Every structure is written in structure tokens, then in C-alpha cells.
């Protein structure tokens, strides 16, 4: 898909993944690229872990993020795999001209249809989401966008001024999430002598996941200092109230010598990554039979480092 300003590439057969958001006049690529050509890579299998080479580009996490054994309203216990059901499935799609694409897929273990419409408008990528419960029982879910970004040391994270603390979303040994509050951007309780609103070098060997409180301002982004350009994510906090922050500076995956170098700013419906924990916290979403839930996300490309408090 392209217009006169942006080139966007999507792989419907690989979870509807957006692989590229490229600014045409500068050639700047904003999404993290895989170390292999994804178009020539075998498709992922349902239930496998979300690891390289698939840990690149922009996916959706639904109805969970971290692996969960979910007790459905019908009484069934369902194992929901790492990063949810969407990223490993082939989606159906319909392209409408050069600037609009509709994609959809049906749930594997739950009765839903997940729809995503992607539109290009100027320097923006507009994404409209719709999920329909076509079963006879309600189900609980969490949704998170999952845009892994290209970064360089010294790039700046742009968060609303209201974000002065975050929750530490890192799992403990029992795979439970804590509600530990830590200062942002110092992350003081981690005993690290750095500010985390700047991207660290890959030699840092750091990886961590954090969540904001419920936000008033639905705007966050990353300033690419080398290119003097920014990518911003705008969302309606009445429907998408939280922001997940994944910082990976050579500290993940644990199972590989080759480590990732990326940041993900993840507008999300709920926290933490575990569906079971989100239900315990009362921060999950529920969808009743025959009901539909909708929300939107806009990805914007800007010159320079915008003051997001004035947009």
C-alpha cells in the first residue's frame, strides 16, 4: 500500500503483520526489520513462541499476550499461546485501491472474528479494529498493539507529561506480575543509573516491560535523532487506556546468542501481559455473545521532535 508520502507493506499470511512503514522522501524505515526476508520465511505454527525471525514489524496480540491457561465461561480450560492467536495465523484480506486494506481472521479456540482495516492518509496510517463474539458464551480478553521499532542509541521516547511512574511488568519465577511502581524515566528501584527516555546501546544487555497508569492523553512516540523524524501513536484512552513500554537493548531473547535491539510503544486495552492476572486485577475486557467491540489507532510520521503535549 502506498500514497505520495508513505509505503506500507503487510503480510496477510503471516498474522496480518505490517512489515514496513517507510517514509518515501527520506527512505526512513520505522519498523524493526527481521534478520531474514519474512516473505521467504516459513510461516509460523500456532502455539509456537514469539521469537526471531518473527519478532519484527507490527503485530496484534489478542486475546492474551503471555501464555495463559484460561478458564472459559463454558467451563473449558483453554491454553492460549505466547502473544495470542493472531500473529501465527493466515488472514483473509481485500485490498481497496492503493490506500486501504481490510483483513480478518476467525478465532482458533474462541468464537470470534477479528477485523482490521488499514488506511493511508497523508503521513498517517489509520487502523480500525473490530472484534465480534459469535459464540454463545462471553469471553474475556486483552488486546495490545505490538509495533517493534527500529532504534539507534540516543533516540528519545516521547511520553505524555502525566507519565511519572510506571508498573514493572516483568514476570517473577512464578510467572506472576507485580504491581511494583517505579519512577519514570529513572526506573530507580531497578538500581540502574540511567534515564530510560533515551535509547541505550545494545551493549546494555537490558530488557524490560512496563505499563503506564490509565492515561488521559492518548499520544506517545519515538524520535529518531539521526533522521530528525518521529513516529507517533495516537489512540482514544476511553477505549485504549494504557501504554505498554518494551525496552530491549541486547537483553532478549534468553534462548539465543543473537539479541534484539528495539523499543515497542504498545497502546493496549489492559494490563499486565497475563490474561489471568488482568482478570484478577479487574483490568481485562469482556465481550458478550453476539456483541461487537471497536477501537482505533493512528500511526503518524512527523518531522523533527514534536511536543506531544501540544498536539
283 near 195, Cβ under 8 Å? no
Average pLDDT over residues 276-293: 94
| CA 297/CA 105 separation, integer angstroms | 19
Flag whether 201 is in a domain: yes
Domain that includes residue 271, residue range: 6-310
Flag whether 272 is in a domain: yes
| pLDDT of 98 | 87
Flag whether 238 is in a domain: yes
59 near 83, Cβ under 8 Å? yes
Q: If pLDDT is split at 50, 70 and 90, which confidence band does 255 have?
A: confident
* Single pTM value for the model: 0.94
Give one DSSP letter per residue of 220-268, joined into a string: EEEEETTTTEEEEEEE-TTTS-EEEEEEEEB---TT-SS--EEEEEEEE
Flag whether 1 is in a domain: no
Q: If pLDDT is split at 50, 70 and 90, which confidence band does 91 have?
A: very high
Number of domains in the chain: 1
pLDDT score of 176 more than 50? no
Average pLDDT over residues 235-258: 94
283 near 163, Cβ under 8 Å? no
> Residue 95 CB: number of other CB atoms within 10 A?
14
Of residues 53 and 186, which shows the higher confidence score? 53
Flag whether 18 is in a domain: yes
Q: Which of 12-16, 19-23, 175-179, 244-248 bottoms out in mean pLDDT, i.e. has the lowest?
A: 175-179
Average pLDDT over residues 161-185: 72
Average pLDDT over residues 173-183: 60
| CA 66/CA 246 separation, integer angstroms | 13
| pLDDT of 134 | 95
Flag whether 77 is in a domain: yes
Inter-CA distances, 80 with 43, 68, 157, 174, Å: 19, 5, 31, 17
Amino acid at each position: 500500500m502506498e500514497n505520495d508520502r508513505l509505503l506500507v507493506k503487510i503480510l496477510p499470511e503471516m498474522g496480518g503483520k505490517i512489515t514496513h512503514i517507510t517514509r518515501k522522501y527520506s527512505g526512513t524505515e520505522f519498523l524493526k526489520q527481521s534478520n531474514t526476508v519474512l516473505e521467504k520465511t516459513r510461516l509460523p505454527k500456532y502455539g509456537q513462541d514469539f521469537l526471531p525471525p518473527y519478532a519484527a514489524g507490527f503485530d496484534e496480540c489478542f486475546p492474551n499476550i503471555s501464555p495463559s491457561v484460561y478458564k472459559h465461561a463454558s467451563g473449558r480450560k483453554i491454553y492460549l499461546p505466547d502473544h495470542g492467536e493472531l500473529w501465527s495465523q493466515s488472514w483473509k484480506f481485500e485490498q481497496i485501491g492503493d490506500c486501504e486494506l481490510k483483513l480478518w481472521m476467525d478465532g482458533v479456540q474462541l468464537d470470534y472474528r477479528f477485523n482490521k482495516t488499514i488506511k493511508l492518509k497523508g503521513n498517517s496510517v489509520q487502523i480500525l479494529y473490530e472484534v465480534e463474539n459469535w459464540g454463545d458464551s462471553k469471553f474475556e480478553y486483552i488486546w495490545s498493539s505490538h509495533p517493534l521499532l527500529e532504534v539507534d542509541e540516543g533516540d528519545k521516547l516521547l511520553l505524555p507529561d502525566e507519565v511519572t511512574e510506571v508498573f514493572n511488568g516483568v514476570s517473577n519465577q512464578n510467572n506472576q506480575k507485580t504491581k511494583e511502581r517505579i519512577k519514570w524515566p529513572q526506573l530507580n528501584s531497578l538500581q540502574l543509573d540511567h534515564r530510560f527516555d533515551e535509547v541505550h546501546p545494545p551493549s546494555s544487555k537490558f530488557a524490560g516491560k512496563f505499563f503506564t497508569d490509565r492515561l488521559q492523553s492518548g499520544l506517545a512516540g519515538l524520535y529518531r535523532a539521526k533522521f530528525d523524524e518521529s513516529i507517533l501513536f495516537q489512540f482514544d484512552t476511553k477505549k485504549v487506556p494504557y501504554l505498554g513500554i518494551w525496552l530491549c537493548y541486547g537483553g532478549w531473547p534468553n534462548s539465543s546468542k543473537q539479541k534484539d535491539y528495539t523499543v515497542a510503544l504498545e497502546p493496549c486495552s489492559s494490563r499486565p501481559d497475563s490474561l489471568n492476572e488482568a482478570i484478577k486485577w479487574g483490568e481485562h475486557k469482556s465481550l458478550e455473545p453476539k456483541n461487537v467491540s471497536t477501537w482505533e489507532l493512528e500511526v503518524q510520521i512527523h518531522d523533527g521532535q514534536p511536543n506531544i503535549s501540544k498536539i
